[in-house]
């Protein structure tokens, strides 16, 4: 079963941004802090510690429901797959995301979201990030139908 | 951006509140950081005018590798220092280097004087000069909070530089606080900002670049990162941090104590890295783009009321601040050091110069050269409460005594006497009394920093200990360090970025097409940078080492005047050769 990327121990984060740079570099071929599926910031200065905003791998995913052109497709394990060709850059996915984990890249005008590929994980110096599966992935297993 | 084949500069005129964006291909050969700042000072600087002339520039630069590799994340500020009138540099970490990269600013040149207190906002798609009258007089902490509240965007992707009251009052060693707990600390850059009525600068890093270097770059990056995090080459910086130096220096007659009356302090264990880590360390944090995390934040809980009422202070500590607010003042209680550091941080004054200034004032008071009428508080080595007041008096320049002391310890000593025990090596001494090579290397270093030529390491490690060998070592170190600070690397990464590794990093992003031979380039930049300093009147032959430095036992025994004179002579000759070449 494919895994889900979780920010499991943000208490240990030192705010180095290595994960953001790794995502931009490896997934988006960019030198960037914006083109990253994970966003790190403080809540009230350096001394208050760091938080990660990243896709929680919802299933069903509100962003998939909101996407009018099926550019966002439900990933079986939770989270989404994104099809560049189908995307009309409307931004509905970003508005639908309950945790603001989808960024609209200003230059390319396309949504940036975590695909749970795990490329960032080895670049965290303190193991704040981890690939998890099943119940450890902590997603809602209910059925609305 | 350098890899795009040009240097992008934002030139801001504070008088008009307008900027100009320039793309310069001809500046690529200076690399960035130290090399680029010197080249820009040649264009914008007024070498013969006062450092407070409104048109004197503040030149912030980053380098070709900023953001592209780990620990390539610092920024350089080149300016004419009000401390001694020469062209100098000061360096800072935090988020600034990274945010300048993502603001697409290889250099930010600020000129002119604002018509009222102002702060500057600059990003890839914004530039404005904002009213800062409400911020004038506020401490550095509150200033940053107010700006974060008002400019509520780009969270985590902005860097805020600001001055405190000491910068506003143009104390000659007022610093610029960068983000939280990093600084352009030394040589009075904060006073220059104050003279321009520029309270703060916010840089927003909000743009992206496509990477077009192919798989070899990705592969090299992975290898480099693994070596950095997987090995122990950087472990000491994250673990105890630089305060791990306190006890080794103490045990080797190298910890300047009580205005350098001694090189060890009774009770130094109380301000050791081990003590801080066990009792006061809250957490470590990192500069953006550095997985090491060497910034150590201390937490001190203090009771202020009978009914279990507490508040807490959080402030970063490092070897230099702990030496300056600890051993130099005879203080061996870590908690008291934290309280003093918090005060220094808020007033925005250079911690090293402040510690040395207050230590000199204490000895001058002991010896009766000044009285309490001048000092206003009865300084006594080991008693922190008076020094807490002293930081405020220095920053606010309360009376004539503090006005003079705020010009630098040498200025005060030339007025009141006490030149012999003024612990000044170009500027107030750093925390390494290792021996004569360190003393000369700081006194004659480009920015009077222990990091310019690392003389302390020669004192600590050299087997063949002669002035001739010392000169060779210092020149070699300077050449390599100026290359690193032109990239702009953190100097803590010097063991990672060996010349071979740096060359490979350079090639992996295709920069070898612009500059082929980095060794040769390093020497060119070193020479050029000194020439710019000479243009502002610097004369190495005027170097003086106060008598106190030969009267105290160091790791190398009592430094001989003869050894010091010989090394000054050799280094002067070497520098004057650069001038004529």
Residues A41-74 have pLDDT tens digits of: 887 777 778 999 999 999 899 999 999 999 999 9
Domain identity same for B116 and B191: yes
Domain identity same for B110 and B55: yes
Alpha-carbon gap: A142 to the closest alpha carbon of chain B (Å): 34
Residue A139 pLDDT grade (very low, low, confident, very high; cuts 50, 70, 90)? low
CB contact under 8 A, A25 and B291: no
Where does a domain end: B204, B222, B249?
B204
Q: List, in sequence order, the alpha helices (H) in A14-127.
A: 18-26, 62-66, 92-96
Domain identity same for B196 and B104: yes
**Residue A143 lies inside a defined structural domain of this protein:** no
Of A32, A33, A46, the CB nearest to B180: A46
Domain identity same for B472 and B574: yes
Domain identity same for B246 and B366: yes
**Residue B410 lies inside a defined structural domain of this protein:** yes
**Residue B214 lies inside a defined structural domain of this protein:** no
Domain identity same for B408 and B433: no
Domain identity same for B45 and B162: yes
The reported pLDDT for the residue numbered B396 is 97
Question: Among residues 533-572 of chain B, which lie with CB inside 8 Å of chain A?
Answer: none
DSSP 8-state code for residue B214? -
Of B211, B229, B286, the CB nearest to A31: B211
Of B206, B293, B295, the CB nearest to A34: B206
**Residue A76 lies inside a defined structural domain of this protein:** yes
A2 vs A77, A130, A133, CA distance in Å?
Answer: 7, 13, 7
C-alpha–C-alpha distance, residues A100 and B8, integer Å: 33
**Which of B140, B284, B286 is the best residue to mutate to test the A interface, defined by the most A CB atoms within 10 Å of its own CB?**
B286
Residue span of the structural domain in which A94 resides: 4-131
User: pLDDT tens for residues A69-105?
Assistant: 999 999 988 899 999 999 999 999 999 999 999 999 9
C-alpha–C-alpha distance, residues B284 and B477, integer Å: 29
Q: Report the CATH number that the domain containing residue B566 is assigned in CATH.
A: 1.10.599.10
**Residue A72 lies inside a defined structural domain of this protein:** yes
Counting the structural domains of chain A, the total is 1
Alpha-carbon gap: B234 to the closest alpha carbon of chain A (Å): 12
Residue span of the structural domain in which B177 resides: 2-204
C-alpha–C-alpha distance, residues B67 and B71, integer Å: 8
**Residue B341 lies inside a defined structural domain of this protein:** yes
**Residue A47 lies inside a defined structural domain of this protein:** yes
- As given in the structure block, the two tokens for residue A25 are 């570099």
Of B180, B208, B285, the CB nearest to A107: B208
Domain identity same for B412 and B469: no
C-alpha–C-alpha distance, residues B242 and B250, integer Å: 14
The reported pLDDT for the residue numbered B230 is 83
- As given in the structure block, the two tokens for residue A113 are 């979201």
Domain identity same for B433 and B411: no
**Residue B229 lies inside a defined structural domain of this protein:** no
Closest-approach residue (CA) in chain B for A45: B180
- As given in the structure block, the two tokens for residue B526 are 């070193």
Closest-approach residue (CA) in chain A for B282: A47
**Residue A26 lies inside a defined structural domain of this protein:** yes
**Residue A101 lies inside a defined structural domain of this protein:** yes
**Residue A122 lies inside a defined structural domain of this protein:** yes
Alpha-carbon gap: A14 to the closest alpha carbon of chain B (Å): 4
**Residue B476 lies inside a defined structural domain of this protein:** yes
Place of tokens 């472990």: B235
**Residue B227 lies inside a defined structural domain of this protein:** no
pLDDT exceeding 90 applies to what percent of chain A? 77
b/e per residue B209-247 (b: at least 16 CB within 10 A): bebebeeebeebbeebbeebbeeeebebbbebbbbbbbb
CB contact under 8 A, B293 and A123: no
Domain identity same for B403 and B436: no
Where does a domain end: B183, B204, B225?
B204
Angle at B111 between CA B108 and CA B117, to 5 degrees: 105
**Residue A38 lies inside a defined structural domain of this protein:** yes
Would you say residue A138 has pLDDT above 70?
Answer: no
B311 at the A interface (CB within 8 A)? Answer: no
Alpha-carbon gap: A44 to the closest alpha carbon of chain B (Å): 9
Residue A140 pLDDT grade (very low, low, confident, very high; cuts 50, 70, 90)? low
Where does a domain end: B204, B220, B249?
B204
- As given in the structure block, the two tokens for residue B411 are 């200025």
B-chain CB neighbours of A17 within 8 Å are: 98, 288-289
Phi, psi of A137 (to 5 degrees): -70, -15
Residue A145 pLDDT grade (very low, low, confident, very high; cuts 50, 70, 90)? very low
Of B67, B208, B229, the CB nearest to A125: B229
The residues facing B174 across adjacent strands are B349
The reported pLDDT for the residue numbered B235 is 83
Alpha-carbon gap: A18 to the closest alpha carbon of chain B (Å): 6
Domain identity same for B390 and B479: no
Alpha-carbon gap: B206 to the closest alpha carbon of chain A (Å): 7
- Cβ of B498: how many Cβ atoms within 10 Å? 11
Q: Report the CATH number that the domain containing residue A24 is assigned in CATH.
A: 3.30.70.20
The reported pLDDT for the residue numbered A47 is 75
B155 at the A interface (CB within 8 A)? Answer: yes
Residue B191 and residue B170 in contact, taking contact as beta carbons nearer than 8 Å:
yes
Domain identity same for B252 and B397: yes
Q: Would you give per-residue pLDDT tens digits along chain B (581 residues)?
A: 888 899 999 999 999 999 999 999 999 999 999 999 999 999 999 999 999 999 999 999 999 999 999 999 999 999 999 999 999 999 999 999 999 999 999 999 999 999 999 999 999 999 999 999 999 999 999 999 999 999 998 888 999 999 999 999 999 999 999 998 999 999 999 999 999 999 999 999 999 999 999 899 999 999 999 999 988 888 888 899 999 999 999 999 999 999 999 999 999 999 999 999 999 999 999 999 999 999 999 999 999 998 889 999 999 999 999 999 999 999 999 999 999 999 999 999 999 999 999 999 999 999 999 999 999 999 999 999 999 999 999 999 999 999 999 999 999 999 999 999 999 999 999 999 999 999 999 999 999 999 999 999 999 999 999 999 999 999 999 999 999 999 999 999 999 999 999 999 999 999 998 888 999 999 999 999 999 999 999 999 999 999 999 999 999 999 999 999 999 999 999 999 988 87
b/e per residue B355-368 (b: at least 16 CB within 10 A): bbbbbbbbbbbeee
Length of chain B: 581
Nearest to B489 by CA among B11, B29, B31: B31
C-alpha–C-alpha distance, residues A118 and A4, integer Å: 8
Counting the structural domains of chain B, the total is 3
The reported pLDDT for the residue numbered A135 is 53
Would you say residue A143 has pLDDT above 60?
Answer: no
């Amino acid at each position: 079963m494919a895994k889900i990327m979780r920010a499991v121990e943000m208490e240990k984060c030192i705010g180095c941004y290595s994960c953001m740079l790794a995502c931009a570099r490896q997934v988006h071929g960019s030198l960037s802090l914006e083109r990253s599926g994970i966003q790190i910031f403080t809540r009230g200065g350096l001394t208050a510690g760091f938080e990660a905003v990243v896709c929680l791998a919802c299933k069903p995913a509100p962003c998939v429901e909101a996407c009018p052109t099926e550019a966002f497709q439900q990933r079986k394990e939770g989270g989404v797959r994104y099809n560049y060709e189908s995307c009309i850059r409307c931004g509905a996915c970003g508005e639908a995301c309950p945790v603001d984990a989808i960024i609209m890249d200003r230059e390319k005008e396309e949504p940036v979201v975590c695909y749970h590929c795990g490329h960032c994980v080895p670049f965290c110096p303190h193991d704040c990030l981890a690939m998890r599966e099943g119940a450890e992935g902590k997603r809602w297993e209910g059925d609305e139908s | 951006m350098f890899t795009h084949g040009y240097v992008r500069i934002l030139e801001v005129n504070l008088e008009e509140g307008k900027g100009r964006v320039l793309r310069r291909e001809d500046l690529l050969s200076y690399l960035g950081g130290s090399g680029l700042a010197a080249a820009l000072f040649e264009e914008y600087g007024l070498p013969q005018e006062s450092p407070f002339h409104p048109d004197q520039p503040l030149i912030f630069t980053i380098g070709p590798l900023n953001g592209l590799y780990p620990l390539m994340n610092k920024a350089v500020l080149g300016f004419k220092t009000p401390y001694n009138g020469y062209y100098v540099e000061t360096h800072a970490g935090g988020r600034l280097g990274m945010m300048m990269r993502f603001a697409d600013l290889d250099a930010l040149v600020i000129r002119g004087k604002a018509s009222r207190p102002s702060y500057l906002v600059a990003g890839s798609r914004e530039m404005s000069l904002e009213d800062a009258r409400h911020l004038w007089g506020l401490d550095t902490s509150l200033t940053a909070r107010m700006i974060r509240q008002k400019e509520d965007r780009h969270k985590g992707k902005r860097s805020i530089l600001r001055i405190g009251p000491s910068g506003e009052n143009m104390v000659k060693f007022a610093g610029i606080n960068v983000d939280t707990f990093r600084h352009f600390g030394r040589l009075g850059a904060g006073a220059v900002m104050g003279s321009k009525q520029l309270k703060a600068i916010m840089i927003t890093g909000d743009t992206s670049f496509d990477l077009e270097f192919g798989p070899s770059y990705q592969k090299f990056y992975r290898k480099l990162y693994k070596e950095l995090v997987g090995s122990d080459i950087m472990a000491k910086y994250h673990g105890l941090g630089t305060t791990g130096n306190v006890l080794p220096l103490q045990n080797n007659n190298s910890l300047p104590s009580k205005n350098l009356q001694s090189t060890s302090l009774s009770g130094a264990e109380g301000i050791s890295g081990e003590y801080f880590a066990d009792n006061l360390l809250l957490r470590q944090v990192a500069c953006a783009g550095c997985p090491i995390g060497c910034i150590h934040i201390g937490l001190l809980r203090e009771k202020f009321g009978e009914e279990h009422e507490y508040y807490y202070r959080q402030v970063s500590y490092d070897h230099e601040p702990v030496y300056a607010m600890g051993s130099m003042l005879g203080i061996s209680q870590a908690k008291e050091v934290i309280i003093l550091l918090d005060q220094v941080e808020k007033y925005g004054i250079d911690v090293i110069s402040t510690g040395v200034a207050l230590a000199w004032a204490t000895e001058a008071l002991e010896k009766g050269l000044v009285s309490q009428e001048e000092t206003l508080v009865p300084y006594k080595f080991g008693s922190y409460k008076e020094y807490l007041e002293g930081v405020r008096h220095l920053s606010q320049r309360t009376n004539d005594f503090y006005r003079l002391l705020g010009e630098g310890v040498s200025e005060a000593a030339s007025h009141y006497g006490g030149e012999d025990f003024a612990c000044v090596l170009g500027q107030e001494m750093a925390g390494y009394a290792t021996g004569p090579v360190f003393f000369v290397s700081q006194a004659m270093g480009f920015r009077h920093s222990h990091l310019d030529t690392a003389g302390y390491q020669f004192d600590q490690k050299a087997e063949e200990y002669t002035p001739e060998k010392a000169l060779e070592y210092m020149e070699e170190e300077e050449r390599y360090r100026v290359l690193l600070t032109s990239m702009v690397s953190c100097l803590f990464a010097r063991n990672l970025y060996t010349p071979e590794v740096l060359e490979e990093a350079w090639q992996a992003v295709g920069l070898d097409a612009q500059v082929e031979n980095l060794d040769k380039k390093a020497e060119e930049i070193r020479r050029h940078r000194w020439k710019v300093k000479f243009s502002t009147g610097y004369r190495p032959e005027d170097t003086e080492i106060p008598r106190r430095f030969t009267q105290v036992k160091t790791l190398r025994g009592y430094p001989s005047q003869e050894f010091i004179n010989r090394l000054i002579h050799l280094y002067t000759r070497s520098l004057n050769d650069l001038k004529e070449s």
